[in-house]
Amino acid sequence: DMKVTQMPRYLIKRMGENVLLECGQDMSHETMYWYRQDPGLGLQLIYISYDVDSNSEGDIPKGYRVSRKKREHFSLILDSAKTNQTSVYFCASSLGGSQNTLYFGAGTRLSVL
Amino acid sequence: AQKVTQTQTSISVVEKTTVTMDCVYETRDSSYFLFWYKQTASGEIVFLIRQDSYKKENATVGHYSLNFQKPKSSIGLIITATQIEDSAVYFCAMRGNNYAQGLTFGLGTRVSVFP
């Protein structure tokens, strides 16, 4: 069963705290992504990873960093979280190549107070 | 850079009828890929259907079909025989030849299906 798993599903943090969002996939997909979704702005790409230790900035990378040490696992890190990083974060994965479909995780709702 | 525009913010339909939603896109790439996704009330984002720009035939999967009008840079989604469970937000997305760019999404169209 093809699956992208995100942990945690809900998270509340205080401004200035560090945040770790984790994502796993069981499809051996080379490529993984982090998006955030905000009302009126839609889904915006934060980072893309082509494989282990091969990461590239998306459209809104400021304030975020990522880590991919295993093909099946991709982490999003917020160092010193800000209130404007309150959002729903989605992880996705796909095979390499432009034609390939992205499969999304269930999302993590992050509130930064 | 690509751009995807969905002008309809919401549509209401009666169950068992057909709903059509619009999407226009902008790209400089000669070859590109167009996708439709559905986001359910629980927040889950599910892939529905894809159209490759070099294919003339409209893609069809189950009760989803596409109306691809390449000269108009348009890719409409058609859902026939709608069910209550089709109530969701539908996103149009695209990716050009530059695989590094990820998918660019529209802002979505909320579809409400009523009995």
CA distance A58 to chain B (A): 7
Amino acid B101: pLDDT? 73
Residue A103 vs residues A23, A99, B46: alpha-carbon distances, Å: 12, 13, 7
Is the CB of B107 less than 8 angstroms away from the CB of A42?
yes
* Burial letters B21-31, b for 16+ CB under 10 A, else e: bbbbbebeeee
SS3 letters across chain A: CCCEEEECCEEEECCCCCEEEEEEECCCCCEEEEEEEECCCEEEEEEEEEECCEEEECCCCCCCEEEEEECCEEEEEECCCCHHHCEEEEEEEECCCCCCCCEECCCEEEEEC
Q: Which residue of A has its CA nearest to B93?
A: A43
Asked whether B51 and B25 are in contact (CB, 8 A), the reply is no
Q: Does B50 touch chain A (CB under 8 A)?
A: yes
B81 residue type, one letter: A
Is the CB of A98 less than 8 angstroms away from the CB of B33?
yes
pLDDT in tens, A23-62: 999 998 999 999 999 998 899 999 999 999 999 999 999 9
CA distance B104 to chain A (A): 8
CA distance A106 to chain B (A): 5
Q: How far apart are CA B41 and CA B57, in angstroms?
A: 32
In percent, the amount of chain A with pLDDT more than 90 equals: 86
Q: What is the pLDDT along chain B (115 residues), one digit of tens a residue?
A: 789 999 999 999 999 999 999 999 999 999 999 999 999 999 999 999 999 999 999 999 999 999 999 999 999 999 999 999 999 999 999 998 777 778 999 999 999 999 9
Is the CB of B46 less than 8 angstroms away from the CB of A43?
no
